[in-house]
Structure 1
Amino acid sequence: MKIQLGKNEWKTFEKGQEKCYLLTNGLGGFSSLTMIGSNARNDHALMMTSVKAPNLRFHMITNVQEKLQIGEKIYDLSNQEYVNRTKNQYGFTYLQSASYEYFPQWTYQIEGIEIVKTIVMVHGENTVGVSYKIYSHNSQKAKLILTPLLRFTLKDQMLQKEQLFELNHNYIKSNGQMLYFQTNGLLERREPCYMKDLYFEYDARDGREAVGTAFVNHNIVIEIQEAEKEAFLIYSNQLEERKIQEILHKERSRMELLEAQCSIQNPAGRMLARNADQYIVYRESTRGKSIIAGYPFFGDWGRDTMIAMIGCTIVTKQFEAAKSILRTFQSYCRNGIMPNVFPEEGTQPFYNTVDASLLFIETVYQYYLATQDNVFVSEMYPVMKEIIQCYCNGTENHIHMDADGLIKAGADLEQLTWMDVRVGDVLPTPRHGKPVEVNAYWYNALMVMSQFSKELDDSKDYYEDLAGKVKESFIQVFWDDELGCLKDVISGTLADKQIRCNQIWALSMSFSMLDQEKSEKILGKVYEKLYTPYGLRSLAFDDNEFHAFCKGSAWDRDMAYHQGTVWAFPLGAYFRAYLRWSKDKVKAIQTVERQLQDLEPCLTEGCLGHIAEIYDGINPNESRGCFAQAWSVGEIVRVYELLERFQKEEQR
């Protein structure tokens, strides 16, 4: 699937900055700029390296500004906003088209000279390449002047005046970091200067630091003397001679293979399945695979990984990556709890989650269904038994099984579910007690363990017997006839009766406690109060605590984050539940197919080829939060695969 953009997409600077691209390297590093080539965020960078995978990242090259000189005329092809708007660069007036398929690509045309620019990032390396194919129908002397904007700072730090840069014929050195460069242009030293007051519009909207600085000390000059010329610029932390076209060919072949190995045929689904690989990273501290929760802000987290990895690894048939991730989590399980944040150098893991361990069991089960790999299940079996035992007997963070068999968790300032915002001593969505989705996961885990125990000749009626008790208690305490759906939490507070998207997982897990009648009512209520084309609202729109927008200061965003904001990832569970529980399968298939088409514009808004983290609650028409979110992508990849499976079954 190729996304093609034309001049109507950049009628104004503001419109031109609405879309960006993302390339990643499997180490946590990435390249991301807007589709007019500007930096609209502090975290936009031509080259963000990962010094220690995946979270120790350095912002190395902010951008490369481009000027085309024809005779005595100079055309500025660059685009950037500045605090002083009179300095703004409007190179998009010369931009004829932009596209994204495997790589972002731009085509400029000025006075008979056409320039096709492509950016590529090498998988498994901190290497970025920029290719320029130049076609000249102008008889005058011309040259392309490239000016790298240097930063060489930690990802969230700003460039300081006292930072020194060393420039050699093939490397740049600063702040303890060395970056080699290779080009077929001419290195031209220039008077060092700071390019101040870069303005980041999207950070300003969110109350983040919106002003930045870059350092300039050289140009790369490309003489245009032929009718056709290829120029390139490659940055890498490795000293190695490379050919830009070989890099492009190798990376495209790798991505084509990712598409080919998944079974999805829908073009949008195939693009998402391929791009799901961009979240899979190597973690140096554990020497295994992990999943980045979202770009550009997040690292790898336990809960997010468990939700995202089914779509990102198992559905896409990256089974070795799936096993590596699960082994990593297994090794860090403590008292039955999976880590929510992995250790970096000199730090300990955080175990502030009640659901990651139960989702771990479901993920192993999904891996088993896809592979029938009993050997790996037997390897994971002891830690899964430990999880069940610890949850039954009680473990950290006030997690324990109550007398009715249901799981209770959280106290004080603990936030253990995915609705985990805490602002100082304020909990916008306290869910202490018995959360609905946690107990759906609990029942599911017991049923999975019942099946695994039989498969592995460790048959125990205990799991199934306890699951029966859990089911009886769950229906008794969570079902609310007045609401016509499930309570969100059992806590003895007004929050119990809030209509939230968490109940959808009681319908979508491998094993459900609900009957047909109740399931249909829940689906109806979720569609009425929570459904939008881009995700499910985290709280019903008619609730007194509903927030229509998630923007502004950090406080405003945090208070709205789970109070009505639309989240894309629960939509995956909703679609799977709808396909599962609808009596008319043909109609259900047609409905989900149509609603997926309504979702597909997400792939051409925000970050091309990805689905964002969140959208506004009342009118979700613009991506917010992370512009590319692993569980948003992974969950929708699962839907495409399931829908096509249902379509094939109906055709038989």
Structure 2
Amino acid sequence: MIEIRFGPQVCGELPAASSREWLVTDGLGGYAMGTVGGLRTRRYHGLLAVAGETAASRRIGLVSLDPTVVLPTGGRVRLGAHEWSTGVVDPRGFELLERFDLTDGVPRWRWRIGDLVIEREIAMAYGRPCVAVVHRLVSGGPVRLDLAAACTWRDAHGERRADGPAPRLEPVAGGAVIEGAFRLAGPDWTPEGQWWLGVHHREEAARGLNPDEDLWHAGRFSGALDEPGATVTVLAWAGDLADEPPPATALVEAARRRNRAVVAAAQPDDPVEATLALAADAFVVRTGAGPDVVAGYPWFGAWSRDTMTSYEGLFLCTNRADEGRELLRAYAATLSEGMLANTADTGRVEYNTVDATLWFLHAVTRHVTVTGDTDLGDELLPALHAVVRAHLAGTRYGIRVDPADGLITQGGTPGTALTWMDARVHGVPVTPRTGKPVEVNALWVNGLAGLAELTELLGRDATALWGLHAKASDAFRTRFPAPVGWLHDVVDAPAPAYPLGGAPYHDDDLLRPNQLLAWSLPYAPLEPDEATLRRVAEGLLTPLGPRSLAPDCPGFVGRHRGGPADRDAAYHQGTVWPWLIGPFVDAYRRAGLPTDDLLVGLEAHLVEFGLGSVSETADGLAPHAATGCPFQAWSVAELLRVHRSG
């Protein structure tokens, strides 16, 4: 594992301490999350976030445990941190931090008050919504430690206010049950019952969202730290509230052991791969239907496109093929009219992507190729052939194979954005990409060839598939190269306006990264051309991956900032997407171009934002500050995949 450790120069200063975030997860979609300095900057930050029916329908329970050291003199030193709607940050416990480290996936803080040193560690039980918080006296003492429990019970995407009912508190042995939903347990519980008004979240303010909420100070725990090694611990859990978890110290050690085992099972070649293997583990969750993938923390749930794009990195590069097999079978069961369900954050089964199913074809063929699991291939083969037939016949949203050239066309329905560039502002797609998108058709050509080989491997005739592949490949090579020196992003796109007698269609030659799949996939339709790839790199590549649009193109937006509409308008108009480093590196390797230094910026990024992980997005302009989710599945998966294959 790479070393993730910060001293007082980072821990004790804002915004440095509040711009680096840690995450621990429970394997169910729930989490505990916060910042190095302890300051909550997001509505999503808390010590117990519990997954609901879907991973995205999380609720926040225990928000914080604020430590106060009670000295023998009676003096009190507060170690917590909160920002208030007045702009005041109080208390400022981060100023007493001498170190933060993330070791074996367990975050640890170390406060110093003269010769008194206290450490805190946080971990979650695996497979259960339960968090353990351990405070340990390292040196000095004796002192007492009070822990003020700030609570709520609300949707993770919202806020709770004091003008509504206070959370219900039921005393139980060793603590309390809040709202009948989660339980607190620790030493010497004293109920309080007081609103803390106007807690401010600076990241929500920056995202143009309501930044303030009120928290309920439910009560406090108190324990003695008489000599070095003494501990004061608190547990919080949901689910079966009568089923008390193991001691907090045991849960922390169990988390550390499991994290080491996850890394060892992945058989990493170096500390970067070890770090990414553990990062990948956070996204693989188990639901009632089996394994699934959380697209990103803290606000995403499961999305089939992200899951399938991430599949090889999350499952095959970490030696989790058995879980992957189970996941692929479950997703295959959602196929309808040749489309894979996009079971999104709404909790409804939706079929609204043109590419998720093609990524599914890729994931299945990669699984069989890497693992030799022909039994799974044989089981899923009829469904995969049905996908091809449905695309030939035509399916939802005008998705169909154009009989004239064998390429997939899509769209035509107002308000739809079916590719991964799916942002909409006020219901209008920012990049609708109606027509024949380049990456969709690269995936189609790749999928046909992969399925044909799988079909032959299983002893069936693949003549028809090879015929479809040849037709689509020939058309791709003819249609997509553009006079500007790279590939069209979309061909046969509806022209926004054209003069009388002009063509109603045009070919979009804006420089975007989608074309990378035309050279990077195992059965890519094109052989990479060095000159073309260098032009693409010159316009798109940044230290954190390719931009979604070149800076000299119309519509480029260099900062992914502001309110929801501003951010959505910039989402695919120049914003950097780290996951695209995967196809970029693959294309460079196939062209025989050097790739040794292409991952340096992303490797350094592992300690800059979401600690030990990779962000969803970043600004298109320097210094390419990270944006979006701090912990994103396909960003981690693609970096791990190309790092391992290098």
Please give the TM-score of this superposition, normalised by the length of structure 2.
Answer: 0.94
Which of these residues, 133, 136, 159, is aligned with residue 136 of structure 2? 133
- 8 Å Cα contact 2:135/2:233 also seen in 1: yes
- 8 Å Cα contact 2:153/2:167 also seen in 1: no
* Aligned-partner Cα distance in 1 for 2:48–2:457: 48
1:155 is displaced (CA, Å) by 1.6
| Range with greater deviation from structure 2 (162-171 or 106-115) | 162-171
1:15 is displaced (CA, Å) by 2.0
Which of these residues, 249, 263, 277, is aligned with residue 253 of structure 2? 249
1:11 is displaced (CA, Å) by 4.7
* Aligned-partner Cα distance in 1 for 2:550–2:416: 24
Aligned to 1:646: none
Which of these residues, 539, 551, 569, is aligned with residue 541 of structure 1? 551
Aligned to 2:432: 430
Q: What does the per-residue CA deviation read over 1:432-452, in whole Å, with 9 as the maximum and x for residues that have no partner?
A: 000000000000111011101
Aligned to 1:155: 156
Aligned to 1:444: 446
Q: Which amino acid in the other structure matches residue 511 of structure 1?
A: Y
* Aligned-partner Cα distance in 2 for 1:143–1:245: 19
- 8 Å Cα contact 2:100/2:109 also seen in 1: yes
Q: Which amino acid in the other structure matches residue 195 of structure 2?
A: Y
| Range with greater deviation from structure 2 (194-203 or 491-500) | 491-500
Which of these residues, 507, 519, 526, is aligned with residue 514 of structure 1? 526
- 8 Å Cα contact 1:485/1:521 also seen in 2: no
Which SS does the other structure have where 2:52 is aligned?
strand
Q: Which amino acid in the other structure matches residue 625 of structure 2?
A: E
Aligned to 1:632: 635
Which of these residues, 532, 543, 548, is aligned with residue 542 of structure 2? 532
Aligned to 2:501: none
* Aligned-partner Cα distance in 1 for 2:267–2:282: 18
- 8 Å Cα contact 1:60/1:150 also seen in 2: yes
Structure-2 change in CA distance of 1:164 and 1:46 (3 Å): closer
Aligned to 2:418: 416
- 8 Å Cα contact 1:539/1:563 also seen in 2: yes
**Counterpart check, 1:376 vs 2:376:** yes
* Aligned-partner Cα distance in 2 for 1:549–1:261: 39
Please give the TM-score of this superposition, normalised by the length of structure 1.
Answer: 0.93
1:137 is displaced (CA, Å) by 2.4
Q: Which amino acid in the other structure matches residue 500 of structure 1?
A: R
Q: Which amino acid in the other structure matches residue 641 of structure 1?
A: R
Q: How does 1:423-502 map to 2 (within 5 A)?
A: 423-480=425-482, 482-490=483-491, 491-493=493-495, 496-502=508-514
1:51 is displaced (CA, Å) by 3.4
Q: Which amino acid in the other structure matches residue 389 of structure 1?
A: R
* Aligned-partner Cα distance in 1 for 2:512–2:624: 21
Which of these residues, 100, 113, 116, is aligned with residue 113 of structure 1? 116
- 8 Å Cα contact 1:398/1:409 also seen in 2: yes
| Range with greater deviation from structure 2 (320-329 or 122-131) | 320-329
Which SS does the other structure have where 1:252 is aligned?
helix
Q: Which amino acid in the other structure matches residue 29 of structure 1?
A: G
1:599 is displaced (CA, Å) by 1.7
- 8 Å Cα contact 2:585/2:598 also seen in 1: no
- 8 Å Cα contact 1:127/1:234 also seen in 2: yes
Structure-2 change in CA distance of 1:39 and 1:423 (3 Å): same
Structure-2 change in CA distance of 1:348 and 1:91 (3 Å): closer
Which of these residues, 612, 615, 634, is aligned with residue 612 of structure 1? 615
* Aligned-partner Cα distance in 2 for 1:124–1:180: 17
- 8 Å Cα contact 1:69/1:145 also seen in 2: yes
Q: How does 1:307-318 map to 2 (within 5 A)?
A: 307-318=309-320
Give RMSD over aligned pairs: 1.7
Aligned to 1:49: 50
Q: Which amino acid in the other structure matches residue 186 of structure 1?
A: D
Which SS does the other structure have where 1:215 is aligned?
strand
Q: How does 1:560-579 map to 2 (within 5 A)?
A: 560-579=570-589
Q: Which amino acid in the other structure matches residue 133 of structure 1?
A: R
Which SS does the other structure have where 2:308 is aligned?
helix
- 8 Å Cα contact 1:163/1:175 also seen in 2: no
- 8 Å Cα contact 1:54/1:282 also seen in 2: no
* Aligned-partner Cα distance in 2 for 1:162–1:522: 62
- 8 Å Cα contact 2:134/2:231 also seen in 1: yes
Structure-2 change in CA distance of 1:60 and 1:270 (3 Å): same
- 8 Å Cα contact 1:127/1:236 also seen in 2: yes
1:492 is displaced (CA, Å) by 4.8
* Aligned-partner Cα distance in 2 for 1:340–1:53: 13
**Counterpart check, 1:557 vs 2:567:** yes
Q: What does the per-residue CA deviation read over 1:441-469, in whole Å, with 9 as the maximum and x for residues that have no partner?
A: 00011101110111111112111111111
Which SS does the other structure have where 1:254 is aligned?
helix
Structure-2 change in CA distance of 1:524 and 1:553 (3 Å): same
Structure-2 change in CA distance of 1:620 and 1:508 (3 Å): farther
1:342 is displaced (CA, Å) by 5.1
Structure-2 change in CA distance of 1:115 and 1:340 (3 Å): same
1:241 is displaced (CA, Å) by 4.5
1:53 is displaced (CA, Å) by 4.6
- 8 Å Cα contact 2:615/2:631 also seen in 1: yes
1:274 is displaced (CA, Å) by 1.6
Q: Which has the higher helix share?
A: 1
1:248 is displaced (CA, Å) by 2.0
Q: What does the per-residue CA deviation read over 1:531-573, in whole Å, with 9 as the maximum and x for residues that have no partner?
A: 0010110001111210011100111111111000111101111
- 8 Å Cα contact 2:81/2:94 also seen in 1: yes
The alignment of Structure 1 onto Structure 2 pairs a total of residues equal to 624
1:171 is displaced (CA, Å) by 5.0
- 8 Å Cα contact 2:200/2:213 also seen in 1: yes
Aligned to 1:288: 290
1:597 is displaced (CA, Å) by 2.2
Q: Which amino acid in the other structure matches residue 426 of structure 1?
A: V
Aligned to 1:269: 273
Q: Which amino acid in the other structure matches residue 231 of structure 1?
A: V
1:255 is displaced (CA, Å) by 1.4
